[in-house]
Amino acid sequence: MDKIGIIVSNENPKSLAMAMNLGHTALASNIEVITYFTFDGLTHLMEGEKDLSAIEPLLDAGMPNPYDLLDQFVADGSDLVSTVACTTTLDMLEWEQEAMDDSVTTKFAGAATFLNEVDDADQVFTF
């Protein structure tokens, strides 16, 4: 396996944690990861404080903060990681690209670009 795609369309931080766990595992195996944030999942790339109350018990039990995992994923991934903010969703919701956190957003693109980039992917996962 040389490339996977991950679609994050859910705003729950637990979904981000699962996506980042998969992404980090792929990186450890030297697998390219294209992560596409769309619809409610796009909120994970936005600047500002994040509400972690939905996963507080998991954090208390030792689960890493999913936003720290996202930061580390992008920092460690180099050329193997793309985190793509869906431009169609941004346009539809009338959100500005400037609202996205540059430290974790590596690219802006629509669904057609994502599909083209994962055309040769071994797997595409959705969270």
What is the residue-level pLDDT of the chain in tens, covering all 127 positions? 799 999 999 999 999 999 999 999 999 999 999 999 999 999 999 999 999 999 999 999 999 999 999 999 999 999 999 999 999 999 999 999 999 999 999 999 999 999 999 999 999 999 9
Give pLDDT, residue 82. 97
Q: Which domains does the chain have, with CATH numbers?
A: 3-126 (3.40.1260.10)
With a CB cutoff of 8 Å and minimum separation 6, the contacts of 40 are 9, 10, 11
Separation between Cα atoms, residue 42 and residue 49, nearest integer Å:
14
Number of Cβ within 10 Å of residue 21's Cβ equals: 16
